Amino acid sequence: MSITKTLFGTLPGGRPVDCYTIENQNGARAEILTYGGTLNRLYMPDRDGVLADVLIGFDTLEGHLKYSDYQGMLVGRYANRIADGAFSLNGDEYHVTPNEKKTTCLHGGGEFSHAVWDAQPLGDSALRLVYESPDGAHGFPGRVTARVTYTLTQENALRIDYSAVSDQDTILNLTNHAYFNLGGYDAGEITGHILRLNASHFTPTDARNIPTGELRDVDGTPFDFREPKAIGEGIDSDYASVASCAGYDHNFCIDHWDGSLREAGEVYEPQSGRVMRALTDLPGVQLYTGNFLKGHPGKGGKPVARRTGFCLETQYYPDTPNQPDFPSCVFRAGEPFESTTEFQFSVREF
């Protein structure tokens, strides 16, 4: 195992952005940027032992600055959407940055994703990132200290440990927004990936992509991934929640959630044989199929195009602060938000 540090680029104001590379004895490696805490590359072997980068994204800092749709970035304070950019807490109403269509707060206004995080290697297999968000940032209450640790194991698992604490009551929901393509970053559409999710319910959304508050049974809908099926099988369905998003951009409710680390699902890519198993201790996972990627130039000059990557964003449900029946994301002053997500990689024969 080893960790190395290189200069990735320099921000317009002159601040350097570093890249830390963690490599295990199998040759698998993860590259993490201090800008956005970005998981920039992740090399994993196929069934023949050939390594490929299984993340779509950008080769340069300029790409992240000009074109990013949160590729590989940490997102917070509140991952996903808050309706109308507003919520109430302790009888007070807070108005937060409406950065999606000028009405919805998406990913906490992008704060964590565009910050430069302080980095500290932990031994030779883990990297800790730290960022302090001031009270009132993007309208959220409390000064928050966030810590995220990336660990690459000898068993080809990438573990992400999240921790955050506020000096005031607040809402917290952190995740990573990696776009995976298990065939490799240049392999084209992900519609042929085989997906299984341990989720009997999902949260349908309205025209703004905000949950209605219903927990709907997946049975008989395109959202039924309880048995493995191709992501593309129902992606062009006229089912309302799919059609309004031009594919999947929805929260799935993980079965039997109890706060312990459990499997959210598994993805298999038949051509390469790569398998990714996702585990989390959070109640939900957002499946996003890159429906609105615009084809900007990405790694190797390959367009970051529609449906060339998928996300499995482990999370509290979207708009939870405005949905009293959803699992609470309120954390009291001094009460830590702590969560773990693990992506375990393996291979399968034909």
- Structure confidence at residue 28 (pLDDT): 98
Catalytic residue among 23, 111, 269, 313: 313
Each residue's pLDDT tens digit, 128-156 = 999 999 999 999 999 999 999 999 999 99
Give whole-number Cα distances, 315 to 153, 164, 284, 318, in Å: 23, 14, 5, 8
CA 262/CA 285 separation, integer angstroms? 12
Each residue's pLDDT tens digit, 251-298 = 999 999 999 999 999 999 999 999 999 999 999 999 999 999 999 999
Each residue's pLDDT tens digit, 220-257 = 999 999 999 999 999 999 999 999 999 999 999 999 99
- Structure confidence at residue 320 (pLDDT): 98
Q: Examine the residue annotation and report whether 263 is marked as an active-site residue of this protein.
A: no
**Torsions phi, psi of 335, nearest 5?**
-85, 120
Catalytic residue among 107, 177, 193, 250: 177
Q: Examine the residue annotation and report whether 177 is marked as an active-site residue of this protein.
A: yes
Task: Decide if 295 contacts 313 (C-beta within 8 A).
Answer: no
Alpha-carbon dihedral of residues 267, 33, 111, 68, nearest 10 degrees? -60
Task: Decide if 74 contacts 40 (C-beta within 8 A).
Answer: no
**Torsions phi, psi of 204, nearest 5?**
-60, 155
Q: Distance of alpha carbon 237 from its chain centroid, rounded?
A: 24
pLDDT at 350 over 90: no
Mean confidence (pLDDT) of the chain: 97
CATH code reported for the domain at 2-347: 2.70.98.10
The strand ranges marked E within 76-173 are 81-82, 86-89, 92-95, 105-106, 118-122, 126-133, 144-152, 157-166, 170-171
**Torsions phi, psi of 219, nearest 5?**
-55, 130
pLDDT at 70 over 80: yes
Residue 335, both tokens = 């009460």
- Structure confidence at residue 231 (pLDDT): 98
Domain ranges of the chain: 2-347
- Structure confidence at residue 186 (pLDDT): 96
Q: What is the mean pLDDT of residues 123-129?
A: 96
Q: What is the mean pLDDT of residues 302-310?
A: 97
Each residue's pLDDT tens digit, 180-210 = 999 999 999 999 999 999 999 999 999 899 9
Task: Decide if 162 contacts 34 (C-beta within 8 A).
Answer: no
